[in-house]
Chains A and B, each alone.
Chain A
Amino acid sequence: MKSAAILLGGWILLAIAGTALASQTMDVTGGWVREAPPTSRVLAAYMQIINLTDTDLTITGISSPDFDSAELHRTAVENGVARMLPVSELTIPAAGSVLLEPGGLHLMLFDPVRPLVQGDSVTLVLHCSDAISLTLSVPVLRNTGEEHVHHHH
């Protein structure tokens, strides 16, 4: 019982340490999840991920308690065909940033555990290769249509 409490305490300490470490390691701005039409159970999240350190950071996974699964994807337009490419690792350059935006890199969120509409917020966790993770809360927004479709090479 006592050892279980110590173990639990250890985990909490580790979790706090991890969060504190992450907050000095990277930052996210402008995060949002696009409200899905009533027919879709797949949503996309966009944001800018900033590396606050002097070394490259690699994001190796995404998770969320609000969805069955989450993946990092990139839409690539080749010969006019929009292709969905899974991205297994995303490197955020030292002291640089990477933009996730409509028509480009995005987080793909599958099967929300509850219906999500504008005004809700969801929790997303970005996992880095060196056991660092960053937990975010981002709003669900309805797209207003004033955005552009970009593609990247």
Chain B
Amino acid sequence: MQNTTRQATRKRFLIGGIIAVFAMLAGTWSALQLRDRTGHVDELAATRFPVARDISAFELVDHRGKPFNNASLQGAWSFLFFGYTHCPDVCPTTLSVLNSVAQQLGSDAGNVQFVFVTVDPERDSPEHLARFVSYFNSDFIGVTGKSEAIEVLTKQLGVLSMRVAGGDNPDSYLMDHTAGVFLVDPDGKYHAVFMPPFTAEKIVGDFGKIRSAYQ
């Protein structure tokens, strides 16, 4: 049983690896494309898809208890990050970076939203998420839902997550999870992904280039 679980986990990570390699190849190609179009020689740290990908219907709920679905991703650029509120290292670090991104974008951030989607719905209720996201930025949106409903979105973006033990208290478990920041364009399509290590400066710089290429 344990072995089967391990094999399944390995398989998931292997598939994740294959997806990541494809994404990197696509990103290299798209970085070249973007350079041709704008005439700049800067390379993107982000992986940008040659053609933005449709996101098929998903139905989740935000930290205010309101529906969060495909319509919620339209009309603004969305930065999506997947994690869990008990996350001690990667999630607070990334959300702090995203808060810096929001601050650096300033008034531009009006057409940009930051969305934290939990991979730990068992512990992360809308109320719990509300306290978590507002700790970093009062405009950030927290999203949760049933596991199966979250999977509808995570599978499309290639986001993986897995529960791991931590500490003496069984309720203090940790989650391994994809640490990328996903960019969805105002058409509600999956446009690009940033992978760690990242900085606010890099994300803001790449986002500016991606946005001007899109317009």
Contact = CB atoms under 8 A, between A and B. Distances in A.
Interface stretch (B64-72, B144-152, B167-175, B207-215): B167-175
Contact of A79 (B13, B128, B129, B198): B13
Contact of A77 (B86, B135, B196): B196
Interface stretch (B31-39, B51-59, B88-96, B183-191): B88-96
A103 interface: yes
Contacts of B135: 37-39
Interface residues of B, number: 42
Interface string A54-92: 000000000000001101010101111111100000000
Contact of B167 (A71, A81, A149): A71
A145 B96 contact: yes
Interface in B59-106: 85-90, 92-94, 96-97, 99-100
Given A41-B172, A79-B16, A81-B16, 14 more contacts: A34-B88, A36-B92, A40-B87, A78-B17, A81-B176, A82-B90, A82-B179, A82-B196, A83-B176, A108-B88, A146-B100, A149-B97, A149-B197, A150-B196
Interface string A116-143: 0000000000000000000000000001
Interface of B: 13, 16-17, 20, 85-90, 92-94, 96-97, 99-100, 128-129, 131-132, 135-136, 160, 164, 166-169, 172, 174, 176-180, 195-200
A84 B86 contact: no
Contacts of A151: 196-197
A148 interface: yes
Contacts of B132: 37-40
B167 A68 contact: yes
B119 to A, nearest CB: 11
Given A40-B85, A71-B166, A143-B92, A78 B13 contact: yes
A44 B179 contact: no
B169 A149 contact: no
Contacts, number: 138
Q: 6 smallest A-B Cβ distances: which pairs?
A: A145-B96, A110-B167, A82-B179, A79-B17, A37-B135, A149-B196
B166 to A, nearest CB: 7
A153 B132 CA distance: 31
Nearest to B165: A86
A143 B13 contact: no
18 contacts: A39-B128, A39-B135, A68-B167, A78-B13, A78-B17, A79-B20, A80-B180, A81-B16, A81-B176, A82-B196, A83-B164, A83-B176, A110-B167, A143-B92, A144-B96, A145-B99, A145-B100, A147-B93
A109 B92 CA distance: 15
A145 B200 CA distance: 9
A75 B128 CA distance: 24
A28 interface: no
A145 B101 CA distance: 9
A53 B94 CA distance: 36
